[in-house]
Structure 1
Amino acid sequence: MGTNPSQNHHLQVTQFSLPKKQFVAYGLYALIPLALLHYLLFYPLATAKPPVQLPQLQEDAPAFVPSQHGHAPVNADEQLPPPSPHRQDEVLGNSPAGEAVSASPPCDYADGEWVPDARPPLYNGTSCGTIKDGQNCMAHGRPDTGYLYWRWRPQRCDLPAFSPAAFLRWLRNRHLAFVGDSLARNQGESLLCLLSSHSTPELVYRDGEENKFRRWVFHEYNATVSIFWSPLLVKVVEKAEHAGVRHNNVFLDAFDERWMSQLGALDAAVLSVGHWFLIPGIYHDAGNVVGCHDCAGLNHTETDFFGVFKEAVHRTLAEVTRRQVADTSKKKKVIAFTTFSPAHFQGDWDKTGACPEKRPYKEKEVGYTETAMRKTVVDAVAAANADADAGGLRFAALDVTKLANLRPDGHPGPYMRNDPFAGGGEDARVQNDCVHWCMPGPIDTFNEILLQTVVG
């Protein structure tokens, strides 16, 4: 070990003397290692760059304002631990030649916080043609942009940024479907826009009112993405307000074959339902009416929707397993179920400022309804995995309830159409959407988690 020069006064002088020239030579030899040690110890400290500090955000200001050239002023990821040198191989399920990649414990993406992120979105309101008009906040002139510059940071692990190339490599020669209500469509369109930043898809099929059934192909990868409208997963005769029918008729013992009949051709499916169970409904099972929700004036037993939601979720996953067992091809499948994402209305849907927040919540308790519906999905997925003795079938919960609950700023609000206050000023009563998500926006994070889930 080298001696600190400041301690030289503690050294004892030797009792013998050397010739003068020899003494000088030995002294020079002794100084060489000391000089080298000084260089190794202090030069890295002198040249090291100071850690990047994120700017403090003002409460009423956007998180970040991109430069005119679209470059991010600060890379928030520089404060995170560096990823594994083989992270990309781990994501894709590969190992470098001759090396074994050690398995790490699965990341719990459900619990975390939103932190500032200066990176611009992968797409905007005009760069992909799949955004439903009502969620195109950019194109409709939403004036604030702070909602775009946040990322979800789990408590005990890292959530990598979305890689369109990695997802498309996984999706090569596969068919992925989003099945469910308008939030399933919202998530499906988000994925298509994210992937479109790397490869342009072709719309090859379209059917139904409001394009409720669509299919795209990324020809470069022979990869297919479909969207199926199925707001309760099981069979339903939907309400028709214009005809005076305000109740859904829900059949718990039958399935929506518009998507279920396509199951054999799918390699992966993302299911997402919830909000339609809050709509008034009459419930049928085994040929009988077994209850109804919000059905005053009808001669049926009033019941809440939680039990019906639970039955629909459990029965759907059981039916997927049954059909997989019966499928002789035994094609491997991943069935992901996105948990309930809360609405953020702070008043009437047509009231000014129905969802006025401009920043994420730092912390906010999840409501009882959201908590119960999330638990139903998580428990059903766990039970389905325990019972899934069909080879190659895997269920997963995309647990987004908490991260969605903390993003009241990510909804279109009044910007469901261009210039919503034209002619009436900002006090005009206009429709607000505090349920669906702006694109780009927080729902892109759902697909960051989806990427990590499907390749797991």
Structure 2
Amino acid sequence: MGGSSPFKDQNKQHSTTTTTMTTFFSFWRFLPYTIYAILPMALFRVYFYPLPVPQSPTDRLPRSDHILVAPSLSSPRQAEKPGGDAVTEAPPPPCDYTNGKWVPDKSGPLYNGTTCGTIKDGQNCIAHGRPDLEYLYWRWKPRLCHLPRFQPTKFLQLLRNKNVAFVGDSMARNQLESLLCMLSSVSDPILVYRDGEDNKFRKWNFPGHNMTISVYWSPFLVKGVEKSSSGPDYNKLYLDSVDERWAGDLGSLDMVVLSVGHWFLHPAVYFEGGSALGCHYCPGLNHTEIGFYDVLRKALRTSLKALIARTRASGRVTDVFVTTFSPSHFEGDWDKFGACPKTKPYQEGEKPLEGMDAEMRKIEVEEVVAAKADARDFSGIRLEALDITKLSLMRPDGHPGPYMYAFPFADGVKDRVQNDCVHWCLPGPIDTWNGILLEAIKRWNGGEMNRLSLDLAR
């Protein structure tokens, strides 16, 4: 008979030499089969349990209380010791939505420029004739966790009987309209209130869930007097007084999303304690130039302190999010054609978060951390920073650009045309902000919340 496998009957008597040679050749005969058996198991291990990916220095954002979501919302599983005693396994590590990349996604958005009737005209890029539509087919993929597709029905269920408010500047409105459009894919909102120039104060109701969503125009969160064509060409901010146009309604709000930043770049004079503190870009005025970073910090601090105090006094339970700074993508002068001409996202590491964008985000995250410390003995309020700065920085293709106006090149390419490289097309990358917002709400409603105190100085 031919050579036998080492796994066959070992009781047969052979000479020592024959046995040794048979074993040697059998080993090499079956070695490939052994490798073929082990290789699939190794691939299975790597695919489902990947090793951590090293981060480059530019990918390490300052640590913060941004949205960190555990892969599972279920209670820790129970294991057993050999003696039969139950042992609670440690929960899986939380996941950071701020680090990741944009990947192609054939599924596209939940809505378009004709199916949603609440899009501000200047952000309706499809209706305004934007010819390239590739910007609609990307999704944000975090490094170490999964960001599900937005579930409008789930959002409505979780916020049933709740009053939700978006407070801030036009970026707050942009995010609000994104949310309304995604929710309208399953339930039509009813506009129940409108007021102010350009309808800056509006409220919608979803009668099937008794949920309301409002938008409050408050570009500084604190009390302010906006510049006008008939008055001074600068804003006035009162940094120690919250804007009562939104704060006066805190007794009736269950969730508040704050979003400010860009209006602090405008010329302004600042007041605190009844006297002028200084100004930003105010030539000709007898005030000290102090910039806007510390002013943003003071405004956020005043607003969050007022929010905590009034929520405590009202006895309500209120969830509060601060959407971090959304970078613009102007290339060259803002009023020239081609100001934001890119049609694809940046790749990982291609565009670092730095300069003003990084500083504005850092201030907002730090103030959320400080406010959480102030409210640590008060269970009636939950605070998070909705940290969207980096993922937004990587989407230079998501702005209206010249399509803030309808068919801007219908009569040919012009030498100069105004571009919008600040706001976001709807649908567009801003829909992802609300996807992360929903994941935070789901986590809070899932019971125990993973909160990390992260060292911003690191």
- SS in structure 2 at match of 1:131: coil
Partner of 2:391: 403
Aligned mates of 1:313, 1:216 — CA distance in 2 = 27
Partner of 2:402: 414
Q: Does 1:122 align with 2:122?
A: no
Given residue 366 of structure 1, which amino acid in structure 2 is its aligned partner?
Answer: L
Aligned mates of 1:111, 1:104 — CA distance in 2 = 18
Q: Does 1:370 align with 2:357?
A: yes
Q: Deviations over 1:391-425 (max 9, x none)?
A: 220110000110011100000000012111232x1
Q: Does 1:446 align with 2:446?
A: no
Distance 1:421 1:262, change over 3 A: same
Q: Does 1:326 align with 2:313?
A: yes
Partner of 1:387: 374
Partner of 2:25: none
Distance 1:396 1:101, change over 3 A: farther
Return the structure number with greater relative CO, CA threshold 8 A, min gap 6.
Answer: 2
Q: Does 1:229 align with 2:220?
A: no
Aligned mates of 1:378, 1:332 — CA distance in 2 = 22
CA contact (8 A) 1:421 1:428 kept: no
Give RMSD over aligned pairs. Answer: 2.7
Q: Structure 2 stretches of 5 or more lacking a match? A: 14-36, 42-46, 48-69, 78-87, 445-458
Match of 1:196 among 184, 188, 208: 184
Aligned mates of 2:6, 2:167 — CA distance in 1 = 79
Aligned mates of 1:313, 1:237 — CA distance in 2 = 17
Partner of 1:149: 137
Partner of 2:304: 317
Match of 2:331 among 331, 342, 346: 346
Partner of 2:125: 137
Moved more, 315-324 or 105-114: 105-114
CA contact (8 A) 1:411 1:436 kept: yes
Distance 1:165 1:245, change over 3 A: same
Deviation for aligned residue 1:367: 2.9
Partner of 2:448: none
CA contact (8 A) 2:312 2:380 kept: no
Distance 1:6 1:183, change over 3 A: farther
CA contact (8 A) 2:123 2:404 kept: yes
Aligned mates of 2:255, 2:414 — CA distance in 1 = 46
Aligned mates of 1:121, 1:6 — CA distance in 2 = 64
Deviation for aligned residue 1:212: 0.4
Partner of 1:171: 159
Given residue 368 of structure 2, which amino acid in structure 1 is its aligned partner?
Answer: V
Q: Deviations over 1:193-213 (max 9, x none)?
A: 010111111000011111100
CA contact (8 A) 1:283 1:291 kept: yes
Q: Deviations over 1:330-379 (max 9, x none)?
A: 22111000000111000222211110000001131123111111011111
Distance 1:12 1:165, change over 3 A: same
CA contact (8 A) 2:223 2:238 kept: yes
Partner of 2:242: 255
Given residue 348 of structure 1, which amino acid in structure 2 is its aligned partner?
Answer: D
- SS in structure 1 at match of 2:367: helix
Distance 1:364 1:128, change over 3 A: same
Q: Deviations over 1:31-60 (max 9, x none)?
A: xxxxxxxxxx9xx99xxxxx9xxxxxxxxx
Q: Does 1:300 align with 2:300?
A: no
With structure 2 as the length reference, what TM-score do the two structures score? 0.78
Distance 1:111 1:261, change over 3 A: same
- SS in structure 2 at match of 1:438: coil
Q: Deviations over 1:45-91 (max 9, x none)?
A: 9xxxxx9xxxxxxxxxxxxxxxxxxxxxxxxxxxxxxx97xx6xx49
Alignment of structure 1 residues 282-293 onto 2, 5 Å: 282-293=269-280
Distance 1:115 1:8, change over 3 A: same
Aligned mates of 1:168, 1:7 — CA distance in 2 = 68
- SS in structure 2 at match of 1:448: helix
Deviation for aligned residue 1:9: 8.1
With structure 1 as the length reference, what TM-score do the two structures score? 0.78
Aligned mates of 2:288, 2:234 — CA distance in 1 = 14
Aligned mates of 1:198, 1:263 — CA distance in 2 = 28
Percent sequence identity over matched residues? 55
Aligned mates of 2:437, 2:12 — CA distance in 1 = 76
Given residue 125 of structure 2, which amino acid in structure 1 is its aligned partner?
Answer: C
Deviation for aligned residue 1:452: 1.1
Aligned mates of 2:365, 2:126 — CA distance in 1 = 34
Aligned mates of 2:212, 2:356 — CA distance in 1 = 35
Partner of 2:64: none
- SS in structure 1 at match of 2:417: coil
Partner of 2:414: 427
Aligned length, in residue pairs: 380
Distance 1:8 1:180, change over 3 A: same
Structure 1 stretches of at least 4 aligned residues deviating more than 3 Å after TM superposition? 5-16, 100-106
Aligned mates of 1:102, 1:266 — CA distance in 2 = 36
CA contact (8 A) 1:341 1:405 kept: yes
Distance 1:287 1:127, change over 3 A: same
Partner of 1:356: 341
